[in-house]
Amino acid sequence: MAPVPAPLEGVTVLDLSTVGPGTRCTRILADYGARVVKVGVPPKKAGLQTQPAFWSYSAARGQQQVRIDLKHAEGKAAFLELVRGADVVLESYRPGVMKRLGLDFEALRAIHPRIILCSTSGYGQDGPAAQWAGHDINYLAVGGYLHTSGRRADGQPPLPGATVADSAAGGMHAAIAIFAALLRREKTGEGEWLDVAVADGVLQLTSLYVDQFLATGAKPSPGHDILTGRYACYETYACADGRWLAVGAIEPAFYANLCKALGCEQWLESQHDDSVQDRIRADFAAAFRSRDRDDWVAELAPANTCVAPVYSIEELAEDPQFEARGMFVEAEHPTQGRFRQLAPPLAGMPRRAGPVPVPDPTRTDTEALLAAAGVDEDHIQRLREAGAIA
| 346 in the same domain as 259 | no
21 closest CA partner among 124, 148, 144: 124
Say what the pLDDT of residue 47 is.
Answer: 58
82-135, pLDDT tens digit by residue? 999 999 999 999 999 999 999 999 999 999 999 999 999 999 999 999 999 999
* Final residue of a structural domain among 263, 278, 309: 309
**How big is the chain, counted in residues?**
390
Number of domains in the chain: 2
| 341 in the same domain as 253 | no
Residue 264, in any domain of the structure: yes
**Rounded Cα–Cα distance for residues 192 and 194 (Å):** 6
Active site residue 112: no
| 182 in the same domain as 46 | yes
289 closest CA partner among 338, 252, 332, 240: 240
Residue 314: which H helix or E strand, with range?
Answer: helix 313-316
Residue 145, in any domain of the structure: yes
Active site residue 135: yes
Residue 326, in any domain of the structure: no
The β-bridge relationship of strands 307-309 and 116-121 is unpaired
Say what the pLDDT of residue 48 is.
Answer: 58
DSSP strands (E only) in the chain? 12-15, 35-40, 63-67, 88-91, 116-121, 193-197, 234-238, 244-248, 307-309, 328-333, 337-342, 356-357
* Cβ–Cβ < 8 Å for 366, 66: yes
The amino acid that residue 3 corresponds to is P
| 335 in the same domain as 295 | no
CB count, 10 Å around CB of 264? 17
Say what the pLDDT of residue 153 is.
Answer: 76
| 282 in the same domain as 346 | no
Residue 160, in any domain of the structure: yes
Residue 217, in any domain of the structure: no
**Domain of 160: which CATH number?**
3.40.50.10540
Say what the pLDDT of residue 82 is.
Answer: 98
Domain that holds residue 293: 226-238+244-309
* Final residue of a structural domain among 260, 278, 309: 309
What is the value of pTM for the model shown?
Answer: 0.94
| 159 in the same domain as 85 | yes
| 79 in the same domain as 23 | yes
| 190 in the same domain as 99 | yes
* Cβ–Cβ < 8 Å for 157, 151: yes
| Catalytic residue selected from 135, 241, 272, 295 | 135
| Catalytic residue selected from 31, 166, 200, 283 | 166
Alpha helices in 32-111 (DSSP H): 73-84, 97-100, 105-111
SS3 content of the chain, % helix, strand, coil (to 5): 45, 15, 40
255-303, pLDDT tens digit by residue? 999 999 999 999 999 999 999 999 999 999 999 999 999 999 999 999 9
Residue 54, in any domain of the structure: yes
| 255 in the same domain as 286 | yes
**Domain of 258: which CATH number?**
3.30.1540.10
Low-confidence ranges of the chain (pLDDT < 70): 1-2, 45-50
Say what the pLDDT of residue 118 is.
Answer: 98
* Cβ–Cβ < 8 Å for 16, 39: yes
Sign of CA dihedral 294, 295, 296, 302: positive
| 120 in the same domain as 149 | yes
Residue 1, in any domain of the structure: no
Residue 156, in any domain of the structure: yes
| 201 in the same domain as 338 | yes
